[in-house]
Structure formats: structure tokens, C-alpha cells
Chain A
């Protein structure tokens, strides 16, 4: 079964036409700019947390670094909303490109890793050698996932086969 009728319908909605067709800078350009800011906040703070786990800035207590988490989540939700808007604008371009699914999987993995890392930091035995070892492993995996997600996202502009249904 083809998803083409769904894509045709989605591209004909008023929201999709606004995202793609509006001459306003707040439409497509503004959404893209927000998506870049959200990326910096979410991936950037996650990367800094990973670096901290790997030994950078050892004077920063991991528990205290949790205070920056609302900013990370803010970036994540900003990009969920702006990402959905971009998807509504160009659904065929994204949904017919395997790289788009790779990006989503990598972001889901990175956020799941972040939640696991946070749970370990909050646990009472956070300084135990075994916990520290798992934290380091999770941090390295997280860095790889975020790097992959960002690269996959950037490559969406170069790897799509169909722009519109």
C-alpha cells in the first residue's frame, strides 16, 4: 500500500502550505532557525554532560549539573515542535528518505541514554567504580548518537529522492 495519498493530502493542508509557501521570515526560515537553536541547546548540553562524565571540568558536581536539564529538555521540545512543522512542510522529502528514519532513531537513542545517565547520577552509588564505568560507556555512546543525529540531519538536504508527492 502506498502512502502517497496521505502525503498528497498532508501537502495540501493549510499548515503545510504556510510552512512552505509563506513569504514570512517566521515561516520556513524562522522554523529552521529555531531548529538550529534547539539543536545547539539539546545536543550541546548533552555533549557537555557527556564530557563532564568523561573527566572534563572535574570540579563540577554531576548532581549539580542536573540544574541545566530544563534547558536540554527545552531544546528537545523546541525541536520536536519545529521538526514536526518542517515535516508537515515537506513530508515526502523526509518520509521517503531512509536517512530521516536513521536521524529519528539516533535522537531517540540519545534521549534514552540521557535519561539512563540521569538515573545513574541520581542513584546513591553514583561514585561506585562499576557505576562510573557504565556512566563512561553511556557518555561515549551518547556522543556518538548526537554526532550521528546531527550529521544525518544535515545530510537530509543532500540525500532525498523526492521533494514532493
Chain B
């Protein structure tokens, strides 16, 4: 079932991709990659420093004041989601059959759910009427998960090149990690 979905998605993108022609021009891919690295830095700088503040670095800075950096992290994420989508819509098989991409998506999902958890459980404690300068224990755990998840996203992203899917031989696992023929 999952294999069929992967194959279907790769074929659908290959047939209908609106950006593949543009992305195959001489400089489009390198420019998109550069933007992807700029977005990465913005995300790590803004979200990473907010996480570190929750963990106790720069304790005298009000957490709510640090939180004003978060929209810039979201901007970095938006840049990377867009450029990432350009890569995916140009070479779908290189990503959808790539185990490193599967783990990258998993880490992205964890980072997203974890951020949701922060706003659902800790937002009021951290930004409430009498905000403490020391974040509650749960918020610290969330910050730690966030840092770990984003580092995993970077590592998996950088590892994509080294897990390029080859032709399938033998029995595949839960997800296809090779090119079906």
C-alpha cells in the first residue's frame, strides 16, 4: 500500500511537475540550494536561541521578549519548505525513495508536533500574567526535543546525497528505499 502510494506520487509529480523545467535551467538549482541554507541558518538562529533561552541560557532575558524572534524562525522555515518543495517537485524519485528523506520528514513531523505541544501546554505558563524567568520543566523538555529534532533534520538533509536510491533488489521494507523497475 505504502509502496504503491510512493510510486503513484513519484509518477504523478514526474508527469505534472510545474517547476521541473525551470529548476533544470543552469542556475535555478544552485540558487534554490543557497536559499535553503540561508533559511536553515535563520531557523537555527531564531528557534535555537529561543530553545536555549527556555533551557536557561541568558536567564535575565524575559522569555516573551525572546519569543519575538520566533517569527523569523518561521520565515526561515517557510523559505526552506518552499525551496525544499522545488527540489521534491523536480526530482521526486531522489527524495521519495530516499531513506534519509523519510527520516528527515519524521524529524520535521516531531519538530512540528513538539512546537504545537509548546503552545498547547506551556504558552500560558511562560507568557502569563506573572511569567517566571525560569521556564517550567515541561517547557525545558520541549526545548530539548526541538533542538534535537532540528539537528536531526539538518543531518538527514545533508545525508540525502549519500542515500541516493539505486535499483530495487530483494524484498523492500515498510517504505520503498530503491527505484522500482
Contacts and interface: CB of A to CB of B under 8 A. Distances in A.
A150 B37 contact: yes
A24 B91 CA distance: 26
A104 interface: no
Interface size class of B (residues with CB under 8 A): 20 to 34
Interface size class of A (residues with CB under 8 A): 35 or more
A37 B151 contact: yes
Contacts of A45: 45, 48-49
B41 A39 contact: yes
Interface string A94-129: 000000000000000000000000000000000000
A158 interface: yes
Contacts of A48: 45-46, 49, 69, 72
B43 interface: yes
B38 interface: yes
B72 A60 contact: no
A33 B155 CA distance: 5
A60 B154 contact: no
Interface in B13-53: 30, 33-34, 37-38, 40-46, 48-49, 52
B65 interface: yes
Interface of A: 25, 29, 32-33, 36-37, 39-41, 43-48, 51-52, 56-61, 64-65, 67-68, 71, 146-147, 150-151, 153-155, 157-158
8 contacts: A33-B154, A39-B41, A44-B41, A44-B45, A44-B46, A45-B48, A60-B61, A65-B61
